[in-house]
Amino acid sequence: AIPLVMSRSTSIAATNGLIIRDNQAMENSRKIDYIAMDKTGTLTEGKFTVNGLKSIDSTINDNKLLSVIAGIESGSSHPIANSIVQYAKDKKIEIANFDDVQAIKGYGMSGKLEGHEYYLVNMKYLKNENIPIDSKLVQTYLDKGNTISYLVADKKVLGFVALGDRIKKNTIEFIKELKARNITTIMLTGDNKDAAATMAKQMGIDEFRAELLPEDKNKVIKQLELSGHHVMMVGDGINDAPSLAAATIGVAIGAGTDVAIDSADVILYNSDPFDIIKFLKLSHHTYQKTV
């Protein structure tokens, strides 16, 4: 049977935006000295604004560029994709009808249109494939923390789109509260280093690792745990499920995906990272009463 204080805690949890799937998590919370967090959708809203869109090739103008980019993104449910498709609709741009699109995990998308193969990918992909790009063209966007996707065909960059995301309203306060508890904060992201550095600084986060593939996030968690730390991992997407499972406590943000929820010990159903502070307080009170 569940001890009385515990079942009371569970209903208090529900009024604080928490679903505690594993009561062991409350007991383990005392050990946590590291909190690893996904960036997009966890610390930020995950709703991107298009801040720049530019053709850098004479064969394509800005409207056609947007048409193609939105077409390739129609096959994705990534927050970046949703924002770009909505932007094209708002601008009343006809969205190109791709035959076939595919996700390239951690890099972007590819697809076929009128016999041509297009890629909408990040800088990491360009580096891997030795596709040249003059970084001066995008530096001002990078300095402001933008995420940049490049449209590529025949190993040539045709243009780019720069997107900005907003920090959630409670993120900075949340990080401050963790600091006050001597918990080290680390942000894990698939995004580029410049965007990650800018965002981490604005949020007051101690450490960050950028350009990570989902399996890399998992490795970071495992390494921290192996070196004696007790890690709480907070994330959302399907990609984060292995890292949630590897951490001492896995916290899923929002309704999330079924896979992420299955791997999580705690769910924050209001998608508010500050509810983690409520979880820590609640756990503390519960175990003061039971021990």
Binding positions for ligand ADP, 222-251, rule CB under 6 A = 237, 239
Q: How far apart are the first and last CA of the chain?
A: 17
Look at strands 207-209 and 184-188 and give their pairing.
parallel
Residue 273 within binding range of ligand ADP, rule CB under 6 A: no
Binder of ligand ADP out of 120, 183, 221, 231 (CB under 6 A) = 120
Q: Which is nearer to ligand ADP, 122 or 171 (CB)?
A: 122
Residue 185 within binding range of ligand ADP, rule CB under 6 A: no
Q: Site for ligand ADP (CB under 6 A): how many residues?
A: 21
Binding positions for Mg ion, 34-93, rule CB under 5 A = 40
- C-alpha to C-alpha distances, 290 to 3, 15, 276, nearest whole angstrom: 9, 21, 21
Residue 110 within binding range of ligand ADP, rule CB under 6 A: no
Q: Which is nearer to ligand ADP, 191 or 275 (CB)?
A: 191
Q: What's the closest the beta carbon of residue 48 comes to ligand ADP, in angstroms? A: 10
Query: With CB cut-offs between 5 and 8 Å by kind, which of Mg ion, ligand ADP, none does residue 20 bind?
Result: none
Give the active site residue among 33, 38, 236, 262. Answer: 38
- Decide if 206 is catalytic: no
Binder of ligand ADP out of 9, 110, 189, 243 (CB under 6 A) = 189
Query: With CB cut-offs between 5 and 8 Å by kind, which of Mg ion, ligand ADP, none does residue 78 bind?
Result: ligand ADP
Token readout for 2 is: 């569940």
Residue 80 within binding range of ligand ADP, rule CB under 6 A: yes
Residue 159 within binding range of Mg ion, rule CB under 5 A: no
Residues of this chain that interact with ligand ADP (CB under 6 A) are 38-40, 73, 76, 78, 80-81, 106-109, 120, 122, 147, 149, 189-191, 237, 239
Residues of this chain that interact with Mg ion (CB under 5 A) are 40, 237
